[in-house]
Amino acid sequence: MNIYKKSQNLLNLFTTVFILILLCCTNMLNSEYRSEVQRYCRKSSRCHSHFLYSRQTAEPSMSRAFLRRRRRRRLLLRPSLHTVFLRLHGALANRTAPARRDLHSADDQARAVLDERPHRDAVAYAATAHLPPAEALFRPAPASARGPHLDAMMLDGYVKAGHVDRARRLFDGMAVKSVAAWTCLVSGYCRAGRVDEARALFDAMPARSVVSWTAMAQGYARSGMLRGARELFDQMPERNVVTWTVMVKAYADHGHFQEAVELFDRMPQRNPYSWSAMISGFLRAGKVDEAVRLFERMPDRNVVSWTTMVTGLAQNGRVSMAREFFDRMPRNKDIAAWNAMVTAYASDGQMNEAQRLFDSMPAKNLVSWNALIHGYAKDERKDEIIGLFLLMLRSAVSPDITTLISVLVTANSTIEVGQIHGFATTRGLLSDTSLGNALLTMYSRSGDLRSAWQAFKMLQEKDAITWTSMMQAFANHGCASYALQAFAQMLRHGYKPSSTTFTAVLSACSHAGLVDKGRAIFASVHRYGLEPTIEHHTCLVDILGRAGHVREAMKIVAAMPLDTRDDAVLRTLLGACMMHNEVDAAREVGEALAKSDGPSGSDSDGYYKVLANVFGSGGRWEEMAGVWKAMKGSKVRRTPGVSQIVVDARTHMFFSRDQGHPQCAEIYEMLDDALVPQMMKKDRPTETV
């Protein structure tokens, strides 16, 4: 029996030493964690040495008190091992969390593993992939180990991971429920949006702390139930600065600035986060001047306050003012402030400034790279995107879904799309629906419908955008029947079509000349709670116009509200009139286009040409001459003729009376000296004898 007990103690000691060696060798813990485990091993070793010494020197007739103390020491060691295993998983997800206090005994060590960090951060590993192994270690733990501290750890872990029902089952089985445990579960219900269940649990609490009241009030605020939050706030027996800040932020976030300012002015004390809550509320509502005035009144500003101002100003389009505040910031600028300025410049199209700021950043994260790459993608600067992407691959930051989508939209060929597709496959990113949708769209644009279909089939999680993209791909490639089949399958799978979906399927009907089907689909738009858009009307007019139903198409256009009738639908109708030689209808549409005040109506001569051609094909020469005369007297800029040639893989474009080509002088000299005389010689009539 004594040998068995001695072997148990040795096993416990060796297991602890093994954990220390494993963690130190893999370098997964920082020095504070390693020193903590080392202290624990030394204390356990001293306990074990004392035990061996006692066994060798003590008389056979040991006192019962000594035996009880020794048994209690062994029982304390076993729960400590379970706790060290749980701490291993926590350390893997929280390397930088420091140890908070010195530990004086093996029992204190076991409890400190559970209690040393703030409650909200104690088991952040449970919200990551480390929850299953932690749960596997927790379930077989003996009853002596599953005290209130370990139960509280797992309860908080379930809440962090969003497993509120599991947390409730654990909570119901807890022998001792502390106020912290009650508060933790109330907060979990609030985070999950189950405010009624949270309130029922809150009302059942035997005792409440200010944290409990604040958690419940914050739950109401997050769900937009400001009245309930305010009633609870008024009932609170005591309030701290966090409670006041929660209510102020709730009012500010929902645009109730009068109530927010009233509470803010009543606060007995304020911290930087209270000021930042008011400032961010003003900035989100576009009240920039109020935010600036409040910021200037702020007594103590920290990095969060400055970053809030810079980010808010940038999001409101005040790029210059945001840069002024950014330059006024202390030297320890937060990376979020750098990212906000880079994003602001990129969104404003100032890519040179964005690049300069990006190059001067002391450290860059994924947001920094994505902001700059996305800015270049908006400007369609492909060379800069590729260069930046290659630099990113050589850095310590790995690209994500957003990065690949920004790079993907600049691809011009199937080969380039396939390269990005292969890269995403090697990185295991193809499970993301948004990236799959982008691949599908870009394969279709590059002309590879087969690869687009394969990308569609590989997507495990499809959404309405996926189906719409596939329908648009079929429509663009003339496969109208497949587009209609995809539309029917989308409805069968329970996806709600969007306006873009109807545009895609109506476009397919237009390409295939499916008049009845197009009419039926257009009529079904209202059934899904949508209103027909300009694009829907244009597609229907095109369907009817191509089939020769010009008068019906004119009725559709006439029934459209004036604010939704643009040049696109009128041009489509005019094209149908020309196709079917409907001269009178063309005159009506042409007059409507001539009266158009839109930008395309004043800058383009396309519809004048079409109308003149309609009159010419009908033999109405005087009316055709009137159209040309009207065009000359209007502000319309006549589009010159253009030709292009490809020399050494470069495309050269030439306009009538062009003076902008870099080799303009040489080209005109060759024309005057060589080509024009040859052309005149060929056109000269030959003499006959």
Both 611 and 570 in a single domain? yes
**What integer pLDDT is reported at residue 619 of this predicted model?**
67
Q: What is the DSSP letter of 645?
A: E
> How far apart, in whole angstroms, are the C-alpha atoms of residue 546 and residue 578?
11
In a domain, 519, yes or no: no
In a domain, 301, yes or no: no
Read off the pLDDT of residues 580-623 as tens digits, 9 standing for 90 and up: 877 777 777 776 766 664 444 444 555 666 666 667 666 667 76
Of the pLDDT bands very low, low, confident and very high (cuts 50, 70, 90), residue 522 is very high
Both 551 and 689 in a single domain? no
Query: How many structural domains are present in the chain?
Result: 3
pLDDT of 106 higher than 50: no
Dig out the tokens for 118 from the structure.
């703030």
Domain residue limits at 568:
533-639
> How far apart, in whole angstroms, are the C-alpha atoms of residue 16 and residue 41?
7
> How far apart, in whole angstroms, are the C-alpha atoms of residue 655 and residue 17?
82
Contacts of 349 (CB under 8 A, 6+ apart): 375, 378, 379
> How far apart, in whole angstroms, are the C-alpha atoms of residue 269 and residue 263?
11
Both 30 and 72 in a single domain? yes
CA 149 vs CA 35, 155, 178: distances in Å: 23, 10, 10
Both 633 and 652 in a single domain? no
> How far apart, in whole angstroms, are the C-alpha atoms of residue 510 and residue 546?
8
Dig out the tokens for 151 from the structure.
């139960």
pLDDT (average), residues 198-210: 92
- Measured between its terminal Cα atoms, the distance across the chain in Å is 138
> How far apart, in whole angstroms, are the C-alpha atoms of residue 602 and residue 383?
35
Read off the pLDDT of residues 83-102 as tens digits, 9 standing for 90 and up: 444 344 333 333 333 333 33
- Domain boundary among the residues 132, 147, 162 is at 162
> How far apart, in whole angstroms, are the C-alpha atoms of residue 192 and residue 186?
10
In a domain, 574, yes or no: yes
Dig out the tokens for 184 from the structure.
């933790």
pLDDT of 542 higher than 50: yes
Residue 546, sorted as left (phi over 0), alpha (psi -120 to 50) or beta, turns out to be alpha
Angle between helices 351-359 and 335-347 (to 10 degrees): 160
CA 318 vs CA 311, 315, 396, 588, 590: distances in Å: 10, 7, 32, 47, 44
Exposure class string for 171-203: b at 16+ Cβ within 10 A, else e: beebeebeebbbbbbbbbbbbbebbebbbebbe
Is the CB of residue 202 less than 8 Å from the CB of residue 209? no
pLDDT of 17 higher than 50: no
Read off the pLDDT of residues 319-345 as tens digits, 9 standing for 90 and up: 999 999 999 988 888 899 999 999 999
Of the pLDDT bands very low, low, confident and very high (cuts 50, 70, 90), residue 230 is very high
Q: How many CB atoms lie within 10 A of CB 257?
A: 17
- Domain boundary among the residues 162, 177, 209 is at 162
> How far apart, in whole angstroms, are the C-alpha atoms of residue 98 and residue 96?
6
Is the CB of residue 443 less than 8 Å from the CB of residue 464? no
Of the pLDDT bands very low, low, confident and very high (cuts 50, 70, 90), residue 162 is confident
Which has the minimum average pLDDT: 65-74, 529-538, 550-559? 65-74
> How far apart, in whole angstroms, are the C-alpha atoms of residue 41 and residue 19?
10
pLDDT (average), residues 666-684: 71
Both 687 and 553 in a single domain? no
* DSSP 3-state of 413: coil
Both 113 and 148 in a single domain? yes
Both 10 and 154 in a single domain? yes
pLDDT of 672 higher than 90: no
pLDDT (average), residues 202-226: 91
Q: How many CB atoms lie within 10 A of CB 465?
A: 19
Is the CB of residue 510 less than 8 Å from the CB of residue 474? no
In a domain, 561, yes or no: yes
In a domain, 268, yes or no: no
Is the CB of residue 210 less than 8 Å from the CB of residue 224? no
pLDDT of 12 higher than 80: no
Contacts of 56 (CB under 8 A, 6+ apart): none
Both 676 and 588 in a single domain? no
Number of continuous H segments (helices) and E segments (strands) in the chain: 38, 2
Both 92 and 50 in a single domain? yes
- Domain boundary among the residues 128, 147, 162 is at 162
> How far apart, in whole angstroms, are the C-alpha atoms of residue 539 and residue 511?
10
Of the pLDDT bands very low, low, confident and very high (cuts 50, 70, 90), residue 255 is confident
Read off the pLDDT of residues 116-129 as tens digits, 9 standing for 90 and up: 433 333 333 333 43
In a domain, 20, yes or no: yes
pLDDT of 485 higher than 50: yes
Both 21 and 156 in a single domain? yes
pLDDT (average), residues 509-529: 92
In a domain, 302, yes or no: no
Both 685 and 592 in a single domain? no
**What integer pLDDT is reported at residue 44 of this predicted model?**
44
**What integer pLDDT is reported at residue 582 of this predicted model?**
76
Average pLDDT, the chain: 77
Q: Is 637 exposed, middle or buried (0-12, 13-18, 19+ CB in 10 A)?
A: exposed
In a domain, 413, yes or no: no
Both 4 and 151 in a single domain? yes
pLDDT of 644 higher than 80: no
Torsion angle of C-alpha atoms 330, 331, 332, 338, degrees rounded to 10? 90
Which has the minimum average pLDDT: 77-81, 229-233, 345-349, 566-570? 77-81
CATH of the domain at 543: 1.25.40
